[in-house]
């Protein structure tokens, strides 16, 4: 692939749709749900207007989808630090227009070589989260370099320039960041006795001396982050994994003021991004492709859609029958997910069996007119390791990027540091992750049966991240989608596909439609967000579902969907107003 070392100005027209977070809407800045963004040549959708603009500028200068991803991720790590960054990991689904091939890249964090199954024995989640034990080896810097070497055209120094400039000159804290800081500070016993923001550098960066969160609009600078990006751009990822930055990460983990961890410099030096075969399943004449294990995303989304293949969902995306059918399919998918999915380099996952059409038809036959209650896992065909179910999920500090470039390449990337603000420790301007709390806290169940997602040395924890590219019957890109949201990511992503393929909604309407999902427990309905979600009668739908036996909760379901639909030589985008989503393109 030809690499461009110099660029010249290109005059373009730009569409940029910035949206308000729900907190902004509730503060009196209400707006009507947005119109979809449209473009002819290229489009990017992220969870932040600054990240979208940085990526869109790269696309305007002739950059590829990977070039634009690097620009977006570099800015997101600065302006949305609670969700992703250099200290975290990601999954990427990539469509190469030159070859017509689709592939996936696993940049999930790994456990240190010293990790054992009893790593979190006796610890509650908060104690494990806010400790050195929770930090996995980061994958983002290696991912950016590996994909840039393979698919990038523009120089790395150009791709990170907007993030470096903002870090040096300052940027305004968003309301979402400030609110999340305030929420965590409120959990501390006192200002002096802090579990959250125990790291003095992180505390000074995000909070005032009196233990209040810096308010939205506060201008903050992060020169350390700018220096880190400069080092990565000039000298490559080896400087992160084996140089001064790596040494600082290890020191921070091993000297954590709460519970020290056991990561070593060898753990960092040995990290690799793994290219894996995509996991694809058929739905309504399309191929729905995503990330396989250690992600449960493509398997669970694929099972939900495969189970629904034989059902007519009707014409109403919020109709009682559609919601009932989708939530029952989700119950069955989560039952299998919780039993079988872990890092496939360590456990045998029945990937083909879980998506086998006959098996899914047998699971679909379990769905009746009434809620089935807690579903038991099935027995898919093929070989798999005997194991017990893991039911707990905590992942929430996550973001999503969707891109289609002028060359026809498409990229779907879900990126994370696990919980909000990762493990809370700043190193060289970025936060460390707490990804290892995605492992089971117990290696076996009460009967001594091993859990697939147990902690093991160098293993990658199971994830719900579901970056997805949908191909049409000709093998061309139809839809690029994905979302943050912990284990609810699976439901958000599946519903976005259903909204487009079954109900014919444009991407923005698909995003704005209130969510519903079931993770093999209660059926969750989204509480309407005025000016953000489309209006509907949640109480009426709750009553209808309860008449079918559903246990129903109405609650906030804060997704961060980024959708791009390729249709009639046009790109149509949808950005999630529940966060600060924005669309860029031309």
Question: Is 398 a residue of the active site?
Answer: yes
Local structure of 97: helix, strand or coil: coil
Question: With contact defined as beta carbons under 8 Å apart, do 401 and 413 qualify?
Answer: yes
For 283, phi then psi, to 5°, come to -155, 120
**DSSP code string of 208-223:** -TTSPBPPTT-EE--H
Measured distance CA(225)–CA(222) in Å, rounded: 5
Contact 278, 290 (CB under 8 A): yes
- 288 phi and psi, to 5 degrees? -100, 110
How far, in whole angstroms, is CA 196 from its chain's centroid? Answer: 23
Looking at residue 51, what DSSP letter applies? Answer: H
Q: What is the 3-state secondary structure (H, E, C) of 331-386?
A: HHHHHHHHHHCCCCCCCCCCHHHHCCHHHHHHHHCCCCCCCCCCCCCCCCCCCCCC
| CA–CA distance, 408 with 427 (Å, rounded to integer) | 37
Using the structure block, give the residue that is written with the tokens 């009893």: 118
Q: Taken in order 215, 220, 224, 227, is the CA torsion positive or negative?
A: positive
Question: How many residues are there in the chain?
Answer: 586
- Contacting residues for 448 by C-beta, under 8 A, at least 6 apart: none
Query: What is the three-class DSSP state of 271?
Result: coil
Written as six digits, the tokens of 55 are 């990526």
- Given a contact cutoff of 8 angstroms between Cβ atoms, the answer to whether 560 and 48 are in contact is no
Tokens 């009668």 identify what position? 537
Maximum distance among all Cα pairs of the chain, rounded to whole angstroms: 66
Gap between the Cα atoms of 296 and 336, Å rounded = 10
Catalytic residue, chosen from 174, 398, 416, 493, is 398
The three-state secondary structure class of 105 is: strand
| CA distance to 127, 169, 331, per residue, from 376 (Å) | 31, 55, 9
Pairing of strands 523-526, 552-555: parallel
Tally of CA atoms within 13 A in the half-sphere of 389 that contains its CB: 14
Which amino acids are annotated catalytic? 398
């Amino acid at each position: 692939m030809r690499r461009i070392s110099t660029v010249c100005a290109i005059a373009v027209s730009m569409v940029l749709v910035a949206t308000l977070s729900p907190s902004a809407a509730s503060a009196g800045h209400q707006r009507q749900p947005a119109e979809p963004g449209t473009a002819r040549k290229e489009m990017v959708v992220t969870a932040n207007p600054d990240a979208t603009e940085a990526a869109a500028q790269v696309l305007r200068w002739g950059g590829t989808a990977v070039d634009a991803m690097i620009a977006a991720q570099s800015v997101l790590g600065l302006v949305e630090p609670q969700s992703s960054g250099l200290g975290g990991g990601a999954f990427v689904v990539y469509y190469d227009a030159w070859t017509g091939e689709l592939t996936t890249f696993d940049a999930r964090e790994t456990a240190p070589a010293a990790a054992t199954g009893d790593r979190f024995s006796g610890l509650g989640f908060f104690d494990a989260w806010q400790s050195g034990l929770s930090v996995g080896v980061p994958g983002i810097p290696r991912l950016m370099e590996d994909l840039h070497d393979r698919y990038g055209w523009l120089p790395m120094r150009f791709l990170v320039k907007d993030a470096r400039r903002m870090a040096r000159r300052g940027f305004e804290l968003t309301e979402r960041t400030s609110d999340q800081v305030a929420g965590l500070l409120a959990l501390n016993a006192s200002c002096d006795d802090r579990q959250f923001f125990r790291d003095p550098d992180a505390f000074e960066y995000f909070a005032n001396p009196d233990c209040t969160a810096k308010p939205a609009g506060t201008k903050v600078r992060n020169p350390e982050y700018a220096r880190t990006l400069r080092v990565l751009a000039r000298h490559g990822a080896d400087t992160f994994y084996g140089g001064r930055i790596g040494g600082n990460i290890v020191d921070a983990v091993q000297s954590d003021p709460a519970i020290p961890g056991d990561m070593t410099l060898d753990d960092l030096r040995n990290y690799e991004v793994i290219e894996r075969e995509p996991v694809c399943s058929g739905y309504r004449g399309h191929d729905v492709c995503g990330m396989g294990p250690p992600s449960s995303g493509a398997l669970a989304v694929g099972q939900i859609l495969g189970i629904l293949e034989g059902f007519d969902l009707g014409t109403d995306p919020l109709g009682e029958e559609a919601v009932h059918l989708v939530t029952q399919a989700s119950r069955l998918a989560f039952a299998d997910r919780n039993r079988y999915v872990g890092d496939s380099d360590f456990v045998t996952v029945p990937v083909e069996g879980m998506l086998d059409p006959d098996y899914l038809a047998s699971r679909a036959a379990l769905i009746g007119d009434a809620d089935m209650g807690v579903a038991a896992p099935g027995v898919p065909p093929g070989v798999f390791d005997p194991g017990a179910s893991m039911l707990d999920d905590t992942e929430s500090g996550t973001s999503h990027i969707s891109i289609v470039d002028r060359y026809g390449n498409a990229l779907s990337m879900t990126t994370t540091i696990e919980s909000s603000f990762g493990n809370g420790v700043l190193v060289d301007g970025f936060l460390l992750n707490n990804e290892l709390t995605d492992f089971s806290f117990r290696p076996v169940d009460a009967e001594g049966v091993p859990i697939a997602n147990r902690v093991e040395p160098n293993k990658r924890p199971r994830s719900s991240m579901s970056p997805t590219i949908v191909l049409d019957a000709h093998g061309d890109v139809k839809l690029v989608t994905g979302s943050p949201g912990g284990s609810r990511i699976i439901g958000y992503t599946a519903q976005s596909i259903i909204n487009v393929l079954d109900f014919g909604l444009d991407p923005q309407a698909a995003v704005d439609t209130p969510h519903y999902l079931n993770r093999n427990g209660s059926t969750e309905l989204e509480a309407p967000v005025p000016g953000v979600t489309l209006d509907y009668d949640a109480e009426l739908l709750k009553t209808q579902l309860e008449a079918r036996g559903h246990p129903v909760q109405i609650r906030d379901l804060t997704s961060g969907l980024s959708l791009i639909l390729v249709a009639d030589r046009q790109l149509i985008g949808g950005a999630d107003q529940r966060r600060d989503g924005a669309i860029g393109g031309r």
